[in-house]
Amino acid sequence: MQDTSWSGEGVVSTILDRIRATARVELVYGEERKVGDKVIIPVAAVAYTFGGGGGGGAGSGPHNGHNPGAMSEDMGAGVGGGGGGGGSVRVQPVGVLEVTEDETRLVPILDWTRIITTALTGAAAVIIVRAIFRRR
């Protein structure tokens, strides 16, 4: 019988259990703060990325897919197994909820680094495409 802690199913199950334990609304909505007559609540986007897998194998003797010359005839059956997994959590600020007596509005946070990087990448792509078509 295979030990489920090393199986792919066991690894993924363990990762999912950890995600369930940490996936809380507090990751998206931060602690509110009162500023004058307004209440400010930070808002973030949360992204989970994970993967896992496992493997196993069994072979007998020198002809189990390996180089026959590398193993002697008297070697017994080989058993193998393994598993692994990993993941990450990304929390990125999106904006703040601004709550007053009259209204609630979302004030977005602009990521200027991402905007400038995207613009420069787009401009470089246009220059490269134009250079390729000019040569023809």
If the chain, 136 residues long, is cut into consecutive pieces of 10 residues, what is the mean pLDDT of each piece?
Answer: 54 75 78 92 86 69 51 57 76 90 92 92 96 85
How confident is the model at residue 135, as a pLDDT?
78
| DSSP classification of residue 29 | B
Sheet holding 38-60, edge to edge: 33-35, 38-60, 77-99, 104-108
| pLDDT at site 41 | 93
Q: Is 10 exposed, middle or buried (0-12, 13-18, 19+ CB in 10 A)?
A: middle
pLDDT of residue 111: 84
**What is the pLDDT at residue 6?**
52
Q: Is 53 helix (H, G, I), strand (E, B) or coil?
A: strand
Beta strands in 1-136 (DSSP E): 33-35, 38-60, 77-99, 104-108
Q: What is the pLDDT of residue 57?
A: 73
Name the pTM for this structure.
0.50
pLDDT of residue 67: 53
Report residue 103: phi and psi, to 5°: -155, 165
